[in-house]
Amino acid sequence: MGPPDAILGITEAFKRDTDARKMNLGVGAYRTDAGKPYVLGAVQKAEASLLAQGLDKEYLPITGLARFTGAAAELAYGAGSSALGRLAITQSVSGTGALRIGGAFLQRFYGAQPTVYLPTPSWGNHAAVFRDSGLKVGSYRYYDPATRGLNLDAMLEDLRALPRGSIVLLHACAHNPTGVDPTAAQWAQIQRVVEEGEHLAFFDMAYQGFATGDADRDAAALRAFVAGGKAPVVLSQSFAKNMGLYGERVGTFSIVGADAAERDRLLSQLKILVRPLYSNPPVHGARIAAEVLTQPELRQEWLGEVKTMADRIIGMRQALRARLEQLGSAQSWAHITDQIGMFCFTGLKPEQV
């Protein structure tokens, strides 16, 4: 009998528990004040529109729904980005599937048994996904338990010490599981070190818009690396959190090529990789996301809903900190509001929890 998954196993235990007071603090899924899943209004309208269109259920191409991947690329890289004309992009089975495609691609084309370096800590599934892709997995220091913030000096020291041309996994925003994000100035330092080491930047962006409430701001680090033009960039992108499409499994994997010719070569290899993995991706969720992203009214409604969700999380952080301070706690709780997104490292010890 294999062990339960460290994250999803908590959800299974939660469902079995009969205590009315139970709360699931494991999986990263947005909930209402009543603890219920939330289906965005823009998503409901998009789904109703699709149903009215009477669309078929035919297979998608290997790389997915072009209307969706094109809109997703613009959301991530920016509508005016120079990357769009040289971007090899494929629809994926959410962010996890994107990571697996990326891992398989790098294992095949990025040297002999390459190593991907993850921040310490990182999302619990990162190491497993990359190891199963055939990559070696290393790490670099990131979180500082003493300050409950970013250990920038140690991070930069470790990145400088990596073998030239390594693969560096970077959380684009709302770092999972710490909630600790670099500032713009810190990102500039990180970018400089990655470029000096000729490393490949593998961005994982699962929370665009969901961190600060501003989709452009949350993509700033990714766009800065692309604009710099010195470090190779690949991206895993998910719409599970920011569109609430958890079970629809909607995402993309993309590689920024040097030009259109390289884009076409990259895309041909991505197709060869995807075909034996799952042939082609599911259609329904991609159609929903495409409808939301390309219909102006739905897009504006969605952006407003994302900001509302992000602001609510920020407000809950402020309320928690204020209450702890009102109770007379002697320690600083500033890290609760300094951190961002769905996850928080409280600084409490296991025995205190």
Pure H helices in the chain? 8-16, 41-53, 66-77, 94-109, 126-132, 152-161, 184-196, 215-218, 220-228, 260-278, 284-294, 296-326, 334-338
Lowest mean pLDDT among 18-27, 46-55, 205-214: 18-27
Residue 38 in tokens = 């939330």
In sequence order, the 6+-apart residues with CB closer than 8 A to the CB of 75 are 208, 215, 219, 293
| Active site (catalytic) residues | 123, 204, 241
Omega of the bond leading into 163 within 30 degrees of 0 (cis): no
Query: Residue 184's pLDDT band (boundaries 50, 70, 90)?
Result: very high
Contact 224, 256 (CB under 8 A): no
Paired strand residues for 192: none
Q: Which pLDDT does position 104 carry in this prediction?
A: 97
Q: Which of 340, 352, 261, 245 is nearest to 293 (CA)?
A: 245
pLDDT at 112 over 90: no
Q: Average pLDDT, whole number, for the chain?
A: 93
Collapsing DSSP to helix, strand or coil, 157 comes out as helix
Distance CA 258, CA 231 (A): 11
Contact 245, 43 (CB under 8 A): yes
Quote the Cα angle for 83-112-222, to 5°. Answer: 25
Q: Which pLDDT does position 343 carry in this prediction?
A: 84
Q: Which pLDDT does position 228 carry in this prediction?
A: 95
Q: Which pLDDT does position 102 carry in this prediction?
A: 98
Distance CA 77, CA 190 (A): 19
Q: Which pLDDT does position 103 carry in this prediction?
A: 97
Distance CA 90, CA 93 (A): 10
pLDDT tens digits for 300-345? 999 999 999 999 989 989 998 999 889 888 888 888 888 888 888 8
Residue 311 CB neighbour total at 10 angstroms? 12
pLDDT at 26 over 80: no
